Amino acid sequence: MAQDRPLTTPPARKPRADSVKNRERLLLAAAEVFRAGGPEASLEAVARRAGVGIGTLYRHFPTREALFEAVYRREVEQLVDLAAQLCEREPPIQALRLWLHAGVGMAATKRGMLTALALAIDSSSEIYAYSFAHLTRALEALLSRASAAGAIRADVGPEDVLQAMVGLSMMGRQPGWEANAIRLLDIFVDGLGASAIGEMPES
Amino acid sequence: MAQDRPLTTPPARKPRADSVKNRERLLLAAAEVFRAGGPEASLEAVARRAGVGIGTLYRHFPTREALFEAVYRREVEQLVDLAAQLCEREPPIQALRLWLHAGVGMAATKRGMLTALALAIDSSSEIYAYSFAHLTRALEALLSRASAAGAIRADVGPEDVLQAMVGLSMMGRQPGWEANAIRLLDIFVDGLGASAIGEMPES
Amino acid sequence: MAQDRPLTTPPARKPRADSVKNRERLLLAAAEVFRAGGPEASLEAVARRAGVGIGTLYRHFPTREALFEAVYRREVEQLVDLAAQLCEREPPIQALRLWLHAGVGMAATKRGMLTALALAIDSSSEIYAYSFAHLTRALEALLSRASAAGAIRADVGPEDVLQAMVGLSMMGRQPGWEANAIRLLDIFVDGLGASAIGEMPES
Amino acid sequence: MAQDRPLTTPPARKPRADSVKNRERLLLAAAEVFRAGGPEASLEAVARRAGVGIGTLYRHFPTREALFEAVYRREVEQLVDLAAQLCEREPPIQALRLWLHAGVGMAATKRGMLTALALAIDSSSEIYAYSFAHLTRALEALLSRASAAGAIRADVGPEDVLQAMVGLSMMGRQPGWEANAIRLLDIFVDGLGASAIGEMPES
DNA sequence: GATGAATGAGACTTCATTCAT
DNA sequence: GATGAATGAAGTCTCATTCAT
């Protein structure tokens, strides 16, 4: 009697093999589909591309939000970590540039995440807000450092730069769009520095 | 009947009725609805807002594309004209800035048109291609002029700047997004000039 | 200009011919389908049986509730009116019996309405509450009259009798179920009178 | 292996494990779930409430019908037995009343069983027919006895009374519905007796 | 045997598009 | 021409049922 397994504690069984595989496939497919079709894209398309039934998708991710979250949270976390690292080992402007480059080149999701971030700006959904808040904070560190060094103008907030990063990366899907986005972002950072010149005699 | 009209010119029918009024209303409504809901917005919403039946919408614009075209063509034409004017009466950099500002502030359609342009970049649809081609050409005049004056770096094409304009305007829907987009574009133009400084002091 | 039709007042056009026909078909089909499958029955089944597209059903009745309401409201109103009439022209017990018979035999919807009423008892939905409230009130008149005449026991409320009416009519779908339900209801009314005997010497 | 068992009786396998416990849990859970949600209730809800996997449910009860049957058969058997007992130790009318009360108050399944019986009346399913047939037979004994004693009218069959029992119990789910159903059934039995009075004073 | 993941059918709902009036 | 009703495809979501582990 006392050995009865407690009904309230599902005994944490080892995750089934095909389940793990399906989850991975779904995340991959979702990243691709969202990248192409935006965050309104059909969940059935995701399931189809993942090669699983629609029911399987819903078992793994009961809501569209849950799927988004799973797809993007890791990316966001990596970007946040990267900001901290760059602050320590790169000069201010260079750190900023590299971080923005990373934002563009983020593996696996690319435009998908960017689209999501674009929405974050006025969407009230959980994951968007989460992403927006964390990325903003990460950027803030980079910006205030660069600003303190007089390397960039001081009247630009992290939201502005985030918006620029997303906006300049969103357009264009030709081969090579990433390199192009990086080029445009570099120009933008040049602009940040250019306007700072009059304000603080450099070094 | 119809005896008072020359029999030899039947193709030109009298184009008048409340039809003209409806067409105007539809264009207005479409601009508003697309602005708010993006280019995926429901056509029924457009008809409803215009106060006409959905059938009437279809009579005037047999496809969604046709409606887009009608909505945006005028805007595009105005932008194209504006480029020519600015070339004649403003200094190079200023002309470029003002044109970009106009692109952001374009009345009546705003984000709708921007979204459409965003799509244009890899969509093969008629109207998108049309808009993209014409705007690119207009921008080219502004850019080559500024570039010739040594005011901006020379390795940036009109597609790049168009992409920046659209991208930097697309994000953010809070009140004041237009002013913000203009600010970001100005920084971008600063960047175009900043990189040019070291390259071309000789002219 | 002054002749412009006001946009805010949809000019009350004559209802299209097939629309009326479809509405009628839908109501008929809904009554049948709800009768057979209860109020959870598939709306697609209703549309199928009515021979119209599912979209047509939704145009006419935007919610399941709206369809229910349309199906049942008229029936309820007729029953309410009938109660008033019977109060005036029939002796108390006879009035009660005839009203219950009418409840069973209600044309067009029969079990469908009864099922709905069955649900009314604890459902909070608009139309159920409406039906329940009005039928209860109608029954109350009949009961208090019979009770005042000493023809039935006084400790039975309209909810009780309504419950009996619905319950005794709900079962059985063989041919002849209506006559059977009437028979059972008459026995129930006999029971109401039998227990009254000791309480008030008749006439 | 298996050397200690006669080779001639392999069919009787040792029926024990936690399997028995699961079966019991499932029956309990099913009774509760069907009571609350009617016979359409989700089988997954049953499994969840029983704390077992959905697969386990299906192993024990390969079809929904099989589960119903297992849930209700015992109830039906108890009612059948009760009829025989009451016939022997209670006066006719009282026996009938008590049996009907028991039918209402049947533990563990309550409305679930009643709903099932309601369906039985025109459903062709195995278990419904089984229940209906047995209950009808049990009631017949009670009725013919009461009828022979002149205590109730003779023109009412067991199906009628069964229908009354189910119908009068089905409605209302407020607290206290059982007492109410019993009250209504007593009135109905009063009605059965009242109409008998004039018909059979001679016996 | 037990488990819960996978599957897909079916219901709901929204619109783009066609057509009767 | 204008209108809005009809249609059905497509997407969302929920289980019943099957099956791999």
Q: What are the tens digits of pLDDT across the range B82-127?
A: 999 999 999 999 999 999 999 887 633 555 555 555 554 445 556 6
pLDDT attached to residue A15: 72
**Angle of helix B177-197 relative to helix A177-194, nearest 10 degrees?**
90
SS3 A198: coil
What single letter denotes the amino acid at residue C105? G
Q: D195 and C187 in contact by Cβ < 8 A? A: yes
Alpha carbon distance C19, B92 (integer Å): 64
Q: D172 and C121 in contact by Cβ < 8 A? A: yes
Measured in angstroms, the CA of D186 and the nearest CA of chain C are apart by 8
Q: CA–C1' distance B45–F6 (Å)?
A: 19
Residue C202 CB contacts under 8 Å (≥ 6 apart), including other chains? C150, C151
Q: Distances in Å between the alpha carbon of A154 and those of A95, A148, A157, A160, B97?
A: 17, 8, 8, 12, 21
Alpha carbon distance D108, C46 (integer Å): 36
pLDDT attached to residue D176: 79
Q: Which of A104-113, D52-61, D157-166 has the lowest mean pLDDT?
A: A104-113
Alpha carbon distance C118, C132 (integer Å): 9
Residues of chain A with CATH 1.10.357.10: 71-194
Helix (H) or strand (E) holding A10: none
Chain D interface includes C146 (CB < 8 A): no
Looking at chain C, which residue has its C-alpha nearest residue D153?
C187
Domain B17-62, architecture per CATH: Orthogonal Bundle (1.10)
pLDDT attached to residue D203: 41
SS3 D1: coil
Q: Distances in Å between the alpha carbon of C158 and those of B128, C109, D28, D165?
A: 69, 22, 36, 19
Alpha carbon distance C34, D64 (integer Å): 23
Alpha carbon distance B104, C130 (integer Å): 55
Alpha carbon distance B145, B141 (integer Å): 6
Q: D195 and C180 in contact by Cβ < 8 A? A: no
A58 touches strand E (CB under 7 A): yes
Alpha carbon distance A184, A188 (integer Å): 6
Measured in angstroms, the CA of B122 and the nearest CA of chain A are apart by 6
Residue D22 CB contacts under 8 Å (≥ 6 apart), including other chains? D50, D52, D56, D60
Hey, which of B10-24, B102-116, D85-99 has the most confident mean pLDDT? D85-99
- Listed residue (A200, A108, A112, A121) closest to A164, CA to CA: A121
The length of chain B, given as a count of residues: 203
Residues of chain D with CATH 1.10.10.60: 18-62
- Over residues C97-115, the mean pLDDT reads 72
Helix (H) or strand (E) holding A154: none
Residues of chain A with CATH 1.10.10.60: 10-62
Residues of chain B with CATH 1.10.357.10: 70-197
- Over residues D93-99, the mean pLDDT reads 96
pLDDT attached to residue C52: 96
Residues of chain C with CATH 1.10.10.60: 14-62
Residue A200 CB contacts under 8 Å (≥ 6 apart), including other chains? A150
Structure tokens at C111: 């079990």
Q: Is the pLDDT of residue B60 over 50?
A: yes
**Helix and strand counts by DSSP (H, E) for chain B:** 9, 0
Q: CA–C1' distance A3–E13 (Å)?
A: 50
Helix locations, A108-176, DSSP H: 111-120, 126-148, 158-170
Structure tokens at D69: 């049957």
Looking at chain B, which residue has its C-alpha nearest residue A172?
B121
B42 touches strand E (CB under 7 A): yes
Q: Is the pLDDT of residue C201 over 60?
A: no
| CATH number attached to the domain at A71-194 | 1.10.357.10
Q: Is the pLDDT of residue B39 over 80?
A: no
CB < 8 Å to C195, chain D: 187, 190
Residue B122 CB contacts under 8 Å (≥ 6 apart), including other chains? A172, A173, A174
SS3 D125: coil
pLDDT attached to residue B53: 95
Percent residues over pLDDT 70 in chain A: 77
Interface contacts C/D by beta carbons within 8 Å: 101
Q: Does domain D71-197 have CATH number 3.30.70.2190?
A: no
D18-62: CATH, from 1.10.10.60, 3.40.50.720, 1.10.260.30, 1.50.10.10:
1.10.10.60
Q: Is the pLDDT of residue C109 over 50?
A: yes
- Over residues A134-147, the mean pLDDT reads 95
| CATH number attached to the domain at A10-62 | 1.10.10.60
Nearest to C163 among D166, D172, D194 (CB): D172
Contact, D53 vs A13, CB < 8 A?
A: no
Tokens 């108890």 map to which residue? D78
B70-197: CATH, from 1.20.58.760, 3.40.50.300, 1.10.357.10, 1.25.40.10:
1.10.357.10
Mutation to test the A interface, candidates B162, B169, B187, most A Cβ within 10 Å: B187
Closest-lying nucleotide for C16 based on CA to C1' = E21
Structure tokens at A197: 């010149």
- Over residues B161-168, the mean pLDDT reads 89
CB < 8 Å to D118, chain C: 170-171
> Per-residue b/e over A154-164, b at no fewer than 16 CB within 10 Å?
bebebbbbbbb
Q: CA–C1' distance C79–F18 (Å)?
A: 51
| CATH number attached to the domain at C14-62 | 1.10.10.60
B49 touches strand E (CB under 7 A): no
Helix (H) or strand (E) holding D56: helix D54-60
Q: What are phi and psi of B158, to 5 degrees?
A: -60, -35
pLDDT attached to residue C107: 40
Contact, B195 vs B153, CB < 8 A?
A: yes
Q: What angle do CA C71, C76, C82 make, to 5 degrees?
A: 140
Nearest to A170 among B40, B153, B170 (CB): B170
Structure tokens at D80: 């059948």
Chain A interface includes B190 (CB < 8 A): yes
Question: Cβ within 7 Å of strand E: which of C 29-58?
Answer: 42-45, 54-55, 58
B171-186: pLDDT as tens digits: 666 678 888 999 999 9
DSSP character at residue D40: G
Alpha carbon distance A55, A33 (integer Å): 18
* Secondary structure of chain C in HEC code, one letter for each residue: CCCCCCCCCCCCCCCCHHHHHHHHHHHHHHHHHHHHHHHHCCHHHHHHHHCCCHHHHHHHCCCHHHHHHHHHHHHHHHHHHHHHHHHHHCCHHHHHHHHHHHHHHCCCCCHHHHHHHHHHCCCCCHHHHHHHHHHHHHHHHHHHHHHHCCCCCCCCCHHHHHHHHHHHHHCCCCCCHHHHHHHHHHHHHHHHHHCCCCCCCCC
Tokens 């690292």 map to which residue? A85
Alpha carbon distance B83, B69 (integer Å): 21
Q: A163 and B174 in contact by Cβ < 8 A? A: no
Question: HSE-up of A76 (CA within 13 Å, CB side)?
Answer: 24
Measured in angstroms, the CA of B24 and the nearest CA of chain A are apart by 31
Q: Is the pLDDT of residue A6 over 50?
A: no
Residue A22, burial from CB neighbour count under 10 angstroms (0-12, 13-18, 19+): buried
- Listed residue (C103, C104, C25) closest to C71, CA to CA: C25
Residue C119 CB contacts under 8 Å (≥ 6 apart), including other chains? C39, C125, C128
